[in-house]
Chains A and B, each alone.
Chain A
Amino acid sequence: MDQIINIKDKKGWYSKLLNDTARPMGLTDSHKIWMGVLVAGLAITLFAYFLQLRDGLIVTGLRDYVSWGMYIANFVFFVACSLVGMFISAVLGLAGAKWITPIARLAEIIAVAFAMVAGLVIISDMGRPDRFMYLFFYGRLQSPILWDVTVVTTYVIISLFLYFIPMIPDLAIFSKYKTMNPPLLNKAFKILSLNWIGSSEQQALIKRSVRILLILIVPVALAIHTVTSWLFAATPRIGWDSTIFGPYFVTGAFVAGTAALIIGMFFFRNNYKLKDHITDMHFDKMGKVMVLVSLVYLYFNINEFLVPGYKLKLHDAVHLHALFAGKHALLFWSVQLGGLIIPLVLMIFRRFRKPLPMLILSVLMLVGSWFKRYLIVIPTQEHPHLPIQNVPHEYIFYKPTLIETGVTLASFLLVIVIITMLSKFFPLLPVYEMAHEAGIENPEALAEELAAEEQSKAKNE
């Protein structure tokens, strides 16, 4: 297995890890400014949602033909990004990849944030959100919608468990290691660490519960994106009527989620100064992972377009023409080439798997992933099997409005707020797990020892 550090000086390394993790935790000035910017942005974009609530969905570009627009595309994108939690912790983790440890929690944070907001995105698409509860009163299990609500909720709960349970020992360590700003955080850590003392019984309990969760989350995560794909594939519409939509969505989700994680890794590594823990090696490995998932996704893309393109049934031809050479061609080819094929090819080369090139390529892939959802959701609706007669032209073609874009932006800001809060007030690196993997027997005791040493050092000075 890859050894992250050459551990000659275990104590020194551990001390640095604790310090690096503790340093950005709690309130800082830069954090306040950042949150101020986010909250201001949220205030503006939520005003857009207020306008939509007041005047109804007429303020959006949604009409009789395209009734699922940017909101639903964004929902699919959010669900996709949230899959990274399962992918890193469960798929790679259960396969025995040890290098994922420092980034596993970040992956879980991204998953929780995107999955939580995905539910809100759906509400933003509702003309009468006050009737949201009707979904539970009158919903039908025969429809994929109710299954989608169920699996997304379940996924959020499991992801929160997977975020919280491995963090219990870390909370115990940091509650004693350093006085946070505000000190209330130490108290919160102490309560949340649930009397953690690192007894062998407790260790066994954590190990067991995490293992069960990691196994449980695999089918649930596959289900959330498969069911989301069924919202489309269970209709006979051109472009959606496909038997491979489930795996097509799931593999697409791995690409989007991995890209989101790489961007997060770059951001936190630089801003939280974690270069010694989230290393070039991690970017290199993530690059290889990305090449793998992108290749699988590319394979599904070829299937999805080649087969109907070869048969060219009448309605498929209209749809494919709009994508390949018609109205959506520019976006389609930009997404396929710039958002998938070119980054994929570049990532094959080692020199592009360094942090900065990885960031740029991942941004391309994430943006590409968003627009890919747009291309999956919208063009299909412009070609119904039974067109409405004598319908005004502006009812057929969809163009998102400013208000709609604002509301969509709000959902992104909300995701960033959640990620910021979770990464700021709780330890971002799983120090306990990392210490164990580095061969430190009792991380709790060593942390206390280190804290005492620092205190005495400070006193002497």
Chain B
Amino acid sequence: MRTMIHHMKYIFVGLGLFLFTGNILAQNEWVVPEDKVGNVAPFEFTDATIKTGEKLYNTNCQSCHGQPGKENYIALNPIPGDLAWPEVQSQTDGELFYKFTEGRGAMPSFKNILSADDRWALVAYLRTYKADYVQPSTEMAKAFSGAAVLLNTVYDAAQHTLKVTANEMGDAGAAGDPAPGLDLALFAKRYFGDLKLDEEKTTGPDGSVTFMIPTDLPGDTAGMLHCFVRVVNNDDYSNVKEEITLTTDQKADDYSLTEKRAMWGTMKKIPIWLLATYLVVVLGVFGTLAYIALMVRKIYLAGKQNDTN
């Protein structure tokens, strides 16, 4: 009986461990929603696309994932992995696109950082590491394609508002009927990715939304704020983008911290007092040592003189 209980204990512990590890495994699996798995790029991958993708990869992905195929990703836990690995390449274009878009854990979401086209360009670049890759037909995507939406912006500098009107594309590129139900987001271009301003807004029956522009946001050195409006709820329109430059009262401080001489500057920009201190001390000490060397020479000469005498 006793041994029975003993065995039972092990069984329970074993069972617990099994469930526990199962749980971890489940957590590690990154499941892509079924309707996204089959998504394909709305355009054909060309050399230009691949090149764009490579550039984007180098600036956005390489710092963690390393160069594809070289397994020089950084040592994080869990490991970021090499994107040329078969377990990555065996996924569908749609799965990769979804993962770039959403991100998970330490991997950031690129939804707001890269446009859908850019994310597809990344897929195009990574597929160069799959020997037998054939791009799935873009037919399906093409059916939805097109800049079928026209965005129009009106900036009210006094009220600090930006009114955006969305219209369906009419004949010959003219604005057609208002496009309601589109989610629009406003971004300001910044050094490190785009900064979302205000909230995402859904166009009303007249196809328009109004964004509030923050008053304390610095523009560039001339006070200009470079913004764009994008459709965010529909990937098929994500390349529909309207750029606009706003004037603000806030001019960027163009004072560069490395412009003047400073402790953090390069050697060429060393503070004068520091250089002077160094030179005075070093010249002083080595001058004294030179004087000592001269005295040593004098010892030698004095002995020589006496010798000849």
Interface residues of B, CB < 8 Å — how many? 33
Q: Which of A142, A165, A201, A209 contacts B302 (CB 8 A)?
A: A201
In the bound complex, residues from chain B placing their C-beta under 8 Å from that of A213 are 292
Tell whether A202 pairs with B303 under 8 Å between CB atoms, given A141-B275, A142-B270, A142-B274: yes
Q: Say whether B282 contacts A390, CB under 8 Å.
A: no
The answer to whether A389 touches B265 (Cβ under 8 A) is no
Pair B270/A141 contact, Cβ less than 8 Å: yes
Contact B302 A205, beta carbon cutoff 8 Å: yes
Q: Judge if B245 is at the interface, Cβ distance under 8 Å.
A: no
Instruction: Assess the A161–B289 pair: CB atoms within 8 A.
Output: yes
Please indicate which of the listed interface residues A194, A389, A392 has the most CB atoms of chain B within 10 Å of its own CB: A194
Beyond A202-B302, A212-B291, list 7 extra A-B contacts (CB 8 Å): A140-B265, A141-B278, A142-B265, A194-B299, A195-B302, A206-B299, A390-B106
Residue from the set A157, A158, A209, A213 with the largest chain B CB neighbour count within 10 Å: A209
- Within the complex, the shortest CB–CB distance from A161 to chain B, in Å, comes to 6
> Known: A140-B266, A150-B282, A389-B76. Is A197-B307 also a contact (CB below 8 A)?
yes
- Determine if B76 and A141 form an interchain contact, defined as CB atoms under 8 angstroms apart: no
Contact, CB under 8 Å: B306 / A197: yes
On chain B, the residues within 8 Å of A395 by CB distance are 75
**B263 interface residue, CB < 8 Å from A?**
yes
User: Which residues on B are within 8 Å of A, measured CB to CB?
Assistant: 75-78, 106, 263-267, 270-271, 274-275, 278, 282, 285-286, 288-289, 291-292, 295-296, 298-304, 306-307
Q: Number of contact residues on A: which range applies?
A: 20 to 34
| Contact between chains at B299 and A205 (CB < 8 Å) | yes
B residues less than 8 Å from A325 (CB atoms): none
Q: For B304, what are the chain A residues with a Cβ–Cβ distance below 8 Å?
A: 195
Consensus secondary structure, chain A interface = helix
In the complex, A208 has a CB within 8 A of chain B: yes
Chain A 135-150 interface 0/1 with B at a Cβ cutoff of 8 Å (1 = within) = 0001111100001001
Interface membership of A58, Cβ < 8 A: no
A13: CB under 8 A from chain B?
Answer: no
Given contacts A147-B278, A161-B289, A216-B285, contact A140 B296 (CB under 8 A): no
Task: Pick the contact of B300: A140, A194, A391 (CB < 8 A).
Answer: A194
Asked if A196 lies at the interface with its beta carbon under 8 angstroms from chain B, I say: yes
Per the bound structure, the CA–CA distance linking A158 and B284 in Å amounts to 13
Complex Cα distance A142/B77, Å? 37
Between B264, B265, B299, B307, the greatest number of chain A beta carbons within 10 A of the residue's beta carbon is seen for B299
